[in-house]
Chain A
Amino acid sequence: MKLEMKDSPGQLVAALKPISEVGGNIIAVIHQRDPDLDDDTLNVQIVLELPKGRLDNLKELLKEQGVHIQRIDEERLLYQRTVILIGHLVHTGFSDTVDQIDSTGFAEVTEVAMSMPGVNERSSSRMTIRAVSRDDMEAALAILRRVAQAKSLLLIEPLEDAA
């Protein structure tokens, strides 16, 4: 979100405090003084993670602090993983495979690249999945593992740090 506040001591801290009060997690704060701006306001961009349904609460708290919200861009699906599937992807219903993820409500297939060398040969596809949270990503991958096994597809997952 992009915020506008008075450029006076303690203002930035006052603007950040409500974020933790509603259980949010600050990922980045970009704070750049515009030399062409001669008034005493400060523009700050904050990237943050918020639990579901807390945004209105946060807006209210920021307003009380005298902070003006210029813009909010919501990105719901923060976690991304790319997997590769190999096998008879079309014969086994590729759109069904994608649907199994999309229909969860917490994860989506956002990009697919596929290569089909021949009708009877196994095809390969790269699939990017986005999910709301880390746990949701794990749940989505668990679904995909099950689907891959049922359809005799080889699922190649990324290597995450083990611990």
Chain B
Amino acid sequence: MKVALIGLGSVGRGVAEMLAKKDLGLVLTGIADSKSAFMDPAGIDIARVLAAKKRNGFCGDQNLTAEDVIKKADYDALIEVTPTNALSGEPAIGYMKAALNRKKHVVTSNKGPIALAAKELLAMARKKGVTLRYEATVAGAIPVMHTLEEGLAGNEILALYGVLNGTCNYILTRMAAEGLSYEQALMEAREMGYAEADPTYDVQGIDAAIKLVILANTIWDNGVKLADVDRTGIDLLTPDALRLADEQGCTIRLIAEANPKKHLLRVSPRILDKNHPLVFEGTLNALTLETDMAKEITLIGRGAGSIETASAIIGDLLYIRDRYVERA
């Protein structure tokens, strides 16, 4: 199967490296970053492109753009991993539409566009007889979407709750373990590379809320939006609050939860027993699904990272290859 890659940040680089390293039967025929693009229907030499990116700051021909690759390259599936824009979803939404219009499958890690426009994009994919997959948008390497559509097929999902932001989990872990203030723990998270220069998205629960919206729409198709999430972050927590919880064998975690029967869609810091399956240290993510047949299922794993996110993207690509492309 031929693939084109749009975006060469941390995730894009991880995907490219794995395509080069692993014999997956996926041929890269187009690649683009924000400054340049490159196409080769016979297959791009990935090592050379990545070396050029490292050396020059761009990967290909500066006279070509992402649009050129999307509209002209010869590929079966587009890998869309450009930086996310939670407000407009652009330019990613435009990229995905252009590919779907050409009857190309799309795989993305881009949360903003999926939270904003999944319904429209999925309808478009259906109409064109192709598929749109976005496993990597929620909980990084954890195969949430695959579990929902395959492992838990036929189950009714009654509710879900989980830890969907690794940065917050790290900060809360450090506040509890060392008695650090929120500010100190945030600073440490930045030094470790776990927090962005502007941590607002993470610490105010926006990132977790976006993932919650994606999950709710995927599972219940209820059209909820980011503004529908009842959201409280962790930036006002005190070390005393964590100590008071600790005195009772508990701790505090940022929990995203959805329960359509209770009209609940919430991201908030919560008190959990330390033995609760959603209490773990560091930057991991986890999700508990409550279903009618399987009852509770908890998935736990890496929620971010270059290669970890590539794992989710490659899982989606191979899913498409096995079901749609090779068969044809």
Number of A-B contacts (CB under 8 A): 75
| CB interface residues, A 112-128, toward B, < 8 Å | 113, 115, 117, 122-126
A28 interface residue per 8 A CB criterion: no
A162 vs B278: C-alpha distance when bound (angstroms): 13
A89 vs B237: C-alpha distance when bound (angstroms): 14
A157 interface residue per 8 A CB criterion: yes
Contact present for A163 and B158 (CB under 8 Å): yes
B247 interface residue per 8 A CB criterion: yes
Interface residues on B, range: 20 to 34
A1 vs B178: C-alpha distance when bound (angstroms): 46
With contacts A86-B241, A113-B247 taken as known, whether A162 is within 8 angstroms of B276 at the C-beta atoms is: no
Contact flags B252-280 to A (C-beta < 8 A → 1, else 0): 11010101011010001111100010100
Contact present for B244 and A84 (CB under 8 Å): yes
With a cutoff of 8 Å between Cβ atoms, the chain B residues found around residue A125 in the complex are 244
B74 interface residue per 8 A CB criterion: no
Contact present for B161 and A156 (CB under 8 Å): no
Contact present for A162 and B241 (CB under 8 Å): no
Contact flags B206-249 to A (C-beta < 8 A → 1, else 0): 00000000000000000000000000100011101101110110
Picked from B160, B237, B261, B271, the residue with its CB within 8 Å of the CB of A159 is B271
With a cutoff of 8 Å between Cβ atoms, the chain A residues found around residue B160 in the complex are 162
Q: Which residue of A lies closest to B290 (CB)?
A: A163
With a cutoff of 8 Å between Cβ atoms, the chain A residues found around residue B158 in the complex are 162-163
Picked from B240, B248, B250, B278, the residue with its CB within 8 Å of the CB of A115 is B240
Q: B289: shortest Cβ distance to chain A, in Å?
A: 10
A125 vs B248: C-alpha distance when bound (angstroms): 13
A84 vs B240: C-alpha distance when bound (angstroms): 10
Picked from A82, A126, A156, A162, the residue with its CB within 8 Å of the CB of B264 is A162
Contact present for B241 and A82 (CB under 8 Å): no
Q: Which residue of B lies closest to A125 (CB)?
A: B244
With a cutoff of 8 Å between Cβ atoms, the chain B residues found around residue A158 in the complex are 250, 270-272
| CB interface residues, B 278-297, toward A, < 8 Å | 278, 290
With contacts A86-B237, A163-B290 taken as known, whether A157 is within 8 angstroms of B244 at the C-beta atoms is: no
Contact present for B257 and A162 (CB under 8 Å): yes
With a cutoff of 8 Å between Cβ atoms, the chain B residues found around residue A84 in the complex are 241, 244-245, 252, 271
With a cutoff of 8 Å between Cβ atoms, the chain A residues found around residue B252 in the complex are 84, 156
With a cutoff of 8 Å between Cβ atoms, the chain A residues found around residue B243 in the complex are 115
Q: Which residue of A lies closest to B248 (CB)?
A: A82
Contact present for A117 and B276 (CB under 8 Å): no
Q: B241: shortest Cβ distance to chain A, in Å?
A: 4
Contact present for B232 and A117 (CB under 8 Å): no
| CB interface residues, A 64-101, toward B, < 8 Å | 82-84, 86
Q: B295: shortest Cβ distance to chain A, in Å?
A: 9
A154 interface residue per 8 A CB criterion: yes
Contact present for B248 and A157 (CB under 8 Å): no
Contact present for B259 and A126 (CB under 8 Å): no
Q: B271: shortest Cβ distance to chain A, in Å?
A: 4
A7 vs B64: C-alpha distance when bound (angstroms): 93
Q: A94: shortest Cβ distance to chain B, in Å?
A: 15
Contact present for A124 and B241 (CB under 8 Å): yes
With a cutoff of 8 Å between Cβ atoms, the chain A residues found around residue B248 in the complex are 82, 126
A154 vs B233: C-alpha distance when bound (angstroms): 10
With a cutoff of 8 Å between Cβ atoms, the chain B residues found around residue A82 in the complex are 248, 250, 271
Q: Which 9 A-B pairs have the closest CB atoms?
A: A162-B159, A124-B240, A126-B244, A115-B240, A163-B158, A159-B270, A163-B159, A124-B241, A158-B271
19 more contacts with CB within 8 A, not counting A156-B270, A163-B158, A163-B259, are: A82-B248, A83-B271, A84-B245, A86-B241, A115-B240, A115-B243, A117-B238, A123-B240, A124-B244, A154-B232, A154-B236, A156-B268, A158-B250, A159-B161, A159-B255, A159-B257, A159-B278, A162-B159, A163-B290
